Amino acid sequence: MTSRKDTLSVGMVGYAFMGAAHSQAWRNAPRFFDLPLRIQMSAVAGRDERKVAEAATKFGWHSVETSWQALVDRDDVDLVDICTPGDTHAEIAIAALAMGKHVLCEKPLANSVDEAEAMTLAAEKAAKSGVRSMVGFTYRRVPAIGLARQLVAEGRLGTVHHVRAQYLQDWIVDPEAPLSWRLDKAKAGSGALGDIGAHIVDLTQYITGDAIGRVSGRLRTFVHERPSPSEHSGLSGTAGTDRGPVTVDDAAVFLAEFRSGALGVFEATRFANGRKNAIRIEINGSAGSLAFDFEDMNVLRFFDGAEPARTAGFRRILVTEADHPYVGAWWPPGHLIGYEHGFTHQVVDLVRDIAAGVDPVPSFADGLRVQRVLAAVETSSETDSWQEISS
């Protein structure tokens, strides 16, 4: 590791959608939060030399590499930020940890339980030498989600009985929407289940402080073949003339039993027409309930069962007060924050934990627990059976 005790030099692998979000976070975090280390955006890596150079200029990276190996090998990189498709996560993370680099890895942690286990073992070994790692479940850093976790931890909901979670998108409802790497099992691992279902699995376990114990689920692919993307396609691309197979699920639904005995209902789909990025979570307990929808992300709805029935009802909490999680560094009450702020909060927590010498959360072990749930849902769909989740 570097001897510059006051600086954290970052190298990022990947520069597209997630790379842009992470770049903004690295740039913004020290401008709004007091951090114990100075952040240096040293290098960004990508295979296309022209495109990665354009990204470096656009996002503020000091230099470029055309291979992740070259970036990991650099002496001036202290932390490797992995923003690539899931099939590369394990190789990059394990190599970086072995080189003594801290690692931030996008979710889901890996494309399989075996890969996630290997990454977790590498992270635990590296942690003994002071090398830290985190998996990027950024929705944990939404202030309303942070408040929800506090309310549950304070006992305001009592005993949790029901968990309902949905992640609804519609970006491939059109059967002529072109193929992308997200629809290729070899690169993505799974479809809606891993890409967006992973988020609601993590969020519900995080908010409740409970773990999913077993699941029964179904995966479904509605469109089995799509046009190949054109040369200049973006996130979903523009259609070419050839066609190829969709090898992942378009939608996933599953029932869950938490270890506490709470019941859960989960849905993740890219075919919810009219829903762009709706993450909906409702938790019902013996003493109250809460509800959240990311399409109204600054609001948490809370029902206090101790209030008299005459005036009881769901309360709309605008989560913009200075004493709400993360909010004090931003704007006056009532001035809203957005999607990108979760990534900034993630950087803040990670940098502070590295400086303090503590293991960040969510850890690779937390990512592994999510991966085991995803794998169990897939097995359940294939075998038409309930699947137990190992602890």
Q: Are residues 110 and 189 in the same domain?
A: no
Structural domain ending residue among the three candidates 101, 118, 139: 139
Domain end: 105, 139, 173, which one?
139
What is the pLDDT of the chain when averaged over all its residues?
96
Per-residue pLDDT of 31-62, as tens digits, reads 999 999 999 999 999 999 999 999 999 999 99
Shared domain check, 163 and 84:
no
pLDDT category at 117 given cuts 50, 70, 90 is: very high
Mean pLDDT value across residues 156-168: 98
Question: Where in the sequence is the domain holding 284, given as residue range(s)?
Answer: 142-335+370-383
Return the bridge partners of 153, or none. none
Is the same domain home to 116 and 236? no
Q: Is 261 left (phi over 0), alpha (psi -120 to 50) or beta?
A: left
Within this chain, do residues 161 and 239 fall inside the same structural domain, yes or no?
yes
pLDDT exceeds 50 at position 14: yes
Q: What is the dihedral angle through the alpha carbons of 206, 211, 216, 219, rounded to the nearest 10 degrees?
A: 30
Tell me: the pLDDT tens digits for 353-363?
999 999 999 99
Residue 3 has pLDDT above 80, yes or no: no
Please give the pLDDT value at position 239: 55
Tell me: do 115 and 69 sit in the same domain.
Answer: yes
Instruction: Please state whether beta strands 225-229 and 239-245 pair in parallel, antiparallel, or not at all (unpaired).
Output: antiparallel
Residue 346 lies in a domain: no
350 falls within a domain: no
Query: Mean per-residue pLDDT for 196-209?
Result: 98
* Triad 198, 107, 55: Cα angle to 5°: 140
- 191 and 274 belong to one structural domain: yes
Note whether 99 and 183 are same-domain residues: no
pLDDT of residue 7: 98
Please report, for the domain that includes residue 251, its CATH number: 3.30.360.10
Write the DSSP string, 155-222: TTT-SEEEEEEEEE--TT-STTSPP-GGG-HHHHSSSHIIIIIHHHHHHHHHHHT--EEEEEEEEE-S
Dihedral angle over CA of 61, 358, 90, 185, nearest 10: -90
Of all residues in the chain, what percent carry a pLDDT higher than 70? Answer: 96
- Which residues touch 57 (CB under 8 Å, ≥6 apart)? none
pLDDT of residue 253: 98
Q: Please indicate, yes or no, whether residues 326 and 198 belong to a single structural domain of this protein.
A: yes
Confidence band, pLDDT 50/70/90 cuts, at residue 391:
confident
Q: What is the pLDDT of residue 240?
A: 55
Provide the pLDDT confidence category of residue 232 given band limits of 50, 70 and 90.
very low
Strand (E) or helix (H) holding 258: strand 251-258
Q: Is residue 351 part of a domain?
A: no
In a domain, 348, yes or no: no
Residue 72: DSSP 8-state:
H
Q: How many domains does the chain have?
A: 2
C-alpha–C-alpha distance, residues 174 and 273, integer Å: 10
Same domain, residue pair 181 and 318: yes
pLDDT for 233: 45
Domain shared by 210 and 301, yes or no: yes
- Last residue of one domain, picked from the residues 139, 160, 194: 139
pLDDT of residue 4: 62
Q: What is the CATH number of the domain that holds 127?
A: 3.40.50.720
Let me know if residue 1 belongs to a domain.
no
Q: Based on the domain organization, do 42 and 102 belong to the same domain?
A: yes
Residue 131 has pLDDT above 50, yes or no: yes
pLDDT band at 5 (very low <50, low <70, confident <90, very high): confident
Q: Is residue 31 part of a domain?
A: yes
Q: Is residue 388 part of a domain?
A: no
- Per-residue pLDDT tens over the stretch 313-371: 999 999 999 999 999 999 999 999 999 999 999 999 999 999 999 999 999 999 999 99
Banded model confidence at residue 258, pLDDT cuts 50, 70, 90? very high
Domain shared by 237 and 262, yes or no? yes
